[in-house]
Chain A
Amino acid sequence: MSQRGGISHDASRYAEISRRVLLGAYLLFTLAPIYWMLHMSLRSNEAITGSFAWVPESVSFANYLTIFTDAAWYSGYLNSLTYVLLNTLLSVSLALPAAYAFSRFSFIGDKHLFFWLLTNRMTPPAVFLLPFFQLYTALGLMDTHLAVALAHLVFNVPLAVWILEGFMSGVPREIDETAYLDGYSFPRFFVRIFLPLIKAGVGVTAFFCFMFSWVELLLARTLTSVDAKPIAATMTRTVSAAGMDWGTLAAAGVLTLVPGAIVIYFVRHYIAKGFALGRV
């Protein structure tokens, strides 16, 4: 008996070690390209293209200074943040009632509708480029933050409904019924009782909407030219007479990580909880 315990103890130690090795190796793989970007952002263009170096010869923040002082650069960040936040707000608030309907009621066509919503996420953005361009030109929305925020609804609303529905199905239906018996109206119940119960889900949904809107370029670039030009589009135009401006590009890349990292830090406790519930 004790021998058997010993074997399983060794086995679990072995499993623990192999887990750590896998995780450690994978984190190295994840961080290597990011390290390289950080590394480049601290060097001058001559140094980057001149020779290979494991660590920067000298650390310079000149590339970051360029971004913070040049309006062409920092306005890109502000534009991106504006439409991403607008899109996140719209996606979550549109998806909340729909997710509630899917999680609480049966209605004619509900399953088909759910799948149809998901199909909108399957349309290649390249398909929409021209129609979007024409539609938003006709509406006079071109080059506005609202245009990009609306266009990104195509892939974010279905995802938001999907995730929120999962979280909502984790809340027992008795809670709704008790609240109605206590005389709560639907809007008051939804805001006062239900929303606090699924705030983790709202956080996780907001993170995913933020992320997918933040990293998308094709639509955002097509629908903007000057006033709402996203940072990612600014970054595609760093080729000058002297060649690629790698240093500034890398610094801008490092800075694109910051907003998302902040958002994920806030939802880190909840991200684990939600998805597991849910339909599918």
Chain B
Amino acid sequence: MSAPKPISQRAWWLVLPVLVSVAFSAVIPLMTVVNYSVQDILGPSQSVFVGWEWYKEVLRDAELHGALYRQIGFSAAVLAIQVPLGVALGLSMPTQGWRASLVLVLLALPLLIPWNVVGTIWQIFARDDIGLLGYVLTQLGVDYNYAQDPTDAWVTVLIMDVWHWTPLVALLAYAGLQSIAPAYYQAARIDGASRWSIFRHIELPKIRGVLLIAVLLRFMDSFMIYTEPFVLTGGGPGTATTFLSQYLTQKAVGQFDLGPAAAFSLVYFLIILLLCFVLYNFIKDVGTRDAVGDVAGSRA
């Protein structure tokens, strides 16, 4: 990048409002959870310190392991489909005129629907008697019933998530592609570069930053998915679509096991944190040696 930023500890004052607000809305609740996780809560004013007990219980919980594996599989599938598809869409979107605006607005529509409504729409959209998707599939001779078949349910939740969130990746990729200076494309044309090598050596390094945002956002949000499968399948059939958040909520609200639920919450949070950290550092360095120049350089 350009010249190093000046060092100023007074910048802390500018960050202070954010610190205070986030401390209020995140740190205090998180401390409450930590507090619960080491106690056995017997009543509103009765509790016993139990130390690591709940953590041990949570880490040995076979149902939790099941939910964790399902969750990892789901998030991996989400990333494997949505990131390439989103980038392909970003490359395909018109860049100018009314068509660009229209495509942008239409594409973003699924992002604007409240999450429970997303579940409700798909609940009926996928029904084989009165829903468009289920009806068409059944007419085509596909044996499809998301309410009874575990595989169908899992695939339906995945397709729903692709429908719901690929637009976010597409918008980010599109934003990244728009910021590439035309000079790069001209240089590539003079060199007679193929479409693939333009993508590989110019576009991909340039949109690495936005792709990192996209991958992290999609990873964390898919890892925390709750409302949509809850409405669509209720976690079933069986436990086919019971992901971590749903299992956690069942424990905390359904069985009212505050201690174990709090311990589980913290373990859950740490897993996300760890995986985000790994992804962040992995993507941050991927392809850096191919970068033709940095964004700041091209803009100056």
List chain A positions with a Cβ less than 8 A from chain B: 11-12, 15, 19-20, 22-23, 26-27, 29-37, 40, 48-49, 51-52, 90, 94-95, 97-98, 100-102, 104-108, 110, 113, 115, 117-132, 134-135, 150-151, 153-154, 157-158, 161-162, 166, 169-170, 172-173, 211, 214-218, 231-232, 235-236, 246, 249-250, 252-253, 256-257, 259-261, 264-265, 268-269, 271-280
Contact = CB atoms under 8 A, between A and B. Distances in A.
Contacts of A51: 130
Given A119-B273, A215-B112, A235-B120, A280 B213 contact: yes
Contacts of B4: 106
Nearest to A232: B114
A235 B117 contact: yes
A217 B116 CA distance: 7
A37 B284 CA distance: 40
Given A153-B21, A211-B111, 9 more contacts: A33-B133, A34-B109, A36-B132, A102-B15, A104-B11, A121-B220, A170-B295, A250-B121, A276-B295
B227 to A, nearest CB: 6
B15 A215 contact: no
Interface in B97-142: 100-101, 103-117, 120-122, 124-125, 129-133, 135
B110 A30 contact: yes
A257 B109 contact: yes
B281 to A, nearest CB: 11
A259 B4 CA distance: 42
Nearest to B176: A276
Contacts of A33: 110, 121-122, 125, 132-133, 163
B258 A130 contact: yes
Contact of B207 (A27, A48, A90, A276): A276
B269 A218 contact: no
A126 B252 contact: yes
Contacts of A236: 116
Interface string B1-14: 01111111101101
B22 A105 contact: no
A252 B130 CA distance: 19
Given A48-B130, A97-B17, A127-B265, A106 B28 contact: no
16 contacts: A23-B93, A98-B18, A100-B14, A106-B7, A107-B11, A117-B22, A123-B30, A126-B226, A126-B248, A128-B33, A162-B213, A170-B299, A211-B112, A232-B114, A256-B117, A276-B295
Given A117-B22, A121-B220, A261-B109, A98 B265 contact: no
Contact of B175 (A12, A273, A279): A273
A142 to B, nearest CB: 15
Contacts of B227: 217-218
B25 interface: yes
Given A27-B106, A100-B14, A122-B276, A278 B209 contact: yes
A234 to B, nearest CB: 10
Interface in B220-263: 220, 223-224, 226-227, 244-245, 248-249, 252-253, 258
A32 B210 CA distance: 28
Interface size class of chain B, counting residues whose CB lies under 8 Å from the partner chain: 35 or more
Contacts of A105: 5-8, 11
Given A232-B114, A253-B120, A265-B101, A275 B210 contact: yes
Contacts of B273: 119, 122
Given A124-B224, A134-B32, A217-B116, A157 B21 contact: yes
Given A98-B17, A271-B171, A135 B29 contact: yes
Interface in B18-60: 18, 21-22, 24-26, 28-30, 32-33, 36
B299 A217 contact: no
Contacts of A12: 195
Interface of B: 2-9, 11-12, 14-15, 17-18, 21-22, 24-26, 28-30, 32-33, 36, 85, 88-89, 91-93, 100-101, 103-117, 120-122, 124-125, 129-133, 135, 163, 166-167, 171-172, 174-180, 195, 206-207, 209-210, 212-213, 216, 220, 223-224, 226-227, 244-245, 248-249, 252-253, 258, 265-266, 268-269, 272-273, 276, 280, 284, 295-296, 299-300
Contacts of A126: 224, 226, 245, 248-249, 252, 265
A101 to B, nearest CB: 4
A242 B132 CA distance: 23
A271 B167 CA distance: 13
A269 B25 CA distance: 33
A217 B252 CA distance: 17
A123 B105 CA distance: 30
Given A124-B269, A276-B178, A106 B29 contact: no
Nearest to A120: B26
Contacts of A231: 114
Contacts of A94: 17-18, 21
Nearest to B295: A277
B99 to A, nearest CB: 10
